Amino acid sequence: MDYLKKYEEWITNPYFDEDTRKELLDLKDKENEIKERFFKDLEFGTGGLRGILGAGVNRMNLYTVRRATQGLANYIIKQGGEKKGVAIAYDSRRMSPEFALDSALCLAANGIKAYLFESLRPTPELSFTLRELGCIAGIVITASHNPPEYNGYKVYWEDGAQITSPKDLEIIHEVNAITDFSQAKTMTKEEATQQGLLNIIGEEIDQKYIEALKKLVINPITEEGKKLKIVYTPLHGSGNLPVRRILKELGFTNVYVVAEQELPDSEFSTVGYPNPEDPKVFDLAIKLAKEVDADIILATDPDADRLGIQVKNPQGQYVLFNGNMTGALIAEYVFSQKAKKGILPENAALIKTIVTGNISDQIAAHYNARLIEVLTGFKYIGEQIKRFEETGCNEFVFGYEESYGYLVGTHSRDKDAVVAVMALCEAAAYYMTQGISLYEQMKRIYQKYGYFKEDLISVTLKGIEGMEKIKEIMEGYRKNPPVTAGDYKVLKVRDYKANTITDMTTGKVSPTGLPLSDVLYFELNDDAWSAIRPSGTEPKIKFYFGVKGNSKEDAEAKLDKLMKDEVFKVS
């Protein structure tokens, strides 16, 4: 049993610190727990690491983080990029500051200059920073919106986006080549500082980031717009200071922050699961919003790359908008206002992921923009921005994904909740001057483009058995794809893992044209669709659904029937 051999190595080797060995010795009679921690190495995937904190090769700890950093350092040196340096940011999670510093010291021990933020910062600011400083790469220590027992490690390349093929696979190869944890180098903070290899960064970069955002304003905030009442919660994360700063500098004066969730808290004690997609995280914000009669409620996740919103309806109730709705709001505002002012590029592009709703297609068509569909993961949107810059084929205007990630502008190459807050509040202030709310504007968008409605079912399957079950489910759908779903007929089956699009009527097979990914997508008639994919960051399998109706009620009924179809039940 290899996992027991690895366990023995960790409890006997003096390379591992005393606390680590003690934590593992306490598990000596818990074989299942030992197996969970040692049956495989924590996988350095196409975006980096993410896992549960703790001792062991299948956990997030200083040793697995240092190993990943050594692999990255080896790759950077082979690319001749050590002089450019690496920027490092981190959020409010357990061990985030420690992992960030240890990564910096590992890089320094390899002769690579590290630029480490003085305190927590949003993920999108890291993307901005590494390009601003001319770095070869960037690292963010975060597990995004995962529960508090998780942390993660994301790697960015010099274009500011998370690593994509072939670099991701090449870096993975370097990490996997490190079979002995003692191969990972380190040095003291004092040594690294004295040798000019550890550089602490902060306010100067913050200022440049905020200035880059302000350049994206289309309609300056009027006195009427400044009356907008905003409730904001950073959910104990890194959005607190930059979000409040950008709103203040734009002129918004009625911004109310949820006091109980304002400060960093690695336990996320008021929410547990700090995901703005979850309606429960808004409880305290709604309470405050009712007290101050707010027009809009905003929530950013711990690393401030995702934004969730609730808006007040005519009955005074607060309604949660999903990512497709918020994305449509921002897209329609940005495209319509740029077109109105004559500043919409002729070769404008709107980018969405394959599981994002189809209203974006209608918006792009209305403004004669190119609609580009990419795999799930904002790095693929960043990859398209790089391609636009290299070829001049298109100009990026807006990109988004249904999982609450949005980007206006190219200052960042990752989703940016700070700029999304700015754009959304600018839109709300503008519509206020037109006598309508964001809720009413959303209704106008549906009237203009059609009543599109989407939803998502996530099934959690933890541990080794869960991983096997998810594989079994995906394989089952591949072998026996549905021919009908709800009241719909399956027209085509896209298998992104096999790179095939199969026409269910003719049997004709064509390529997807996208990189390989474990996703199945079912094209249905009448603009409906469904997709299935394992989560890349959590032990879940996700089922996505989208329909188009003749009215809000019609769309809701169609979606409900589609989601309840037995073909999508997991046993």
- Could you list the active site residues? 144
What are the tokens at 521? 């997508």
Burial class for 426, CB neighbours closer than 10 Å (0-12, 13-18, 19+)? buried
CB 85 within 8 A of CB 64: no
Pair of tokens at residue 154? 């994301």
Do 386 and 413 form a contact (C-beta atoms < 8 A)?
yes
Q: End-to-end distance of the chain based on CA atoms, in angstroms? A: 31
The residues, ordered by sequence, that sit 6+ positions from 183 with a Cβ below 8 Å of its Cβ are 67, 70
Per DSSP, the three-state class of 265 is coil
- CA of 430: how far to CAs of 223, 226, 360, 384, 495, in Å? 11, 10, 21, 30, 42
Count of residues making up the chain: 571
Residue tagged 């980018």 (tokens): 351
- Are the beta carbons of 451 and 555 closer than 8 angstroms? yes
d(CA 198, CA 204) in angstroms, rounded, equals 17
Q: Strands, DSSP E only, in 370-412?
A: 370-374, 395-401, 405-408
Environment class of residue 564 by beta-carbon count within 10 Å: exposed (0-12), middle (13-18) or buried (19+)?
exposed
Residue with tokens 């999508």: 568
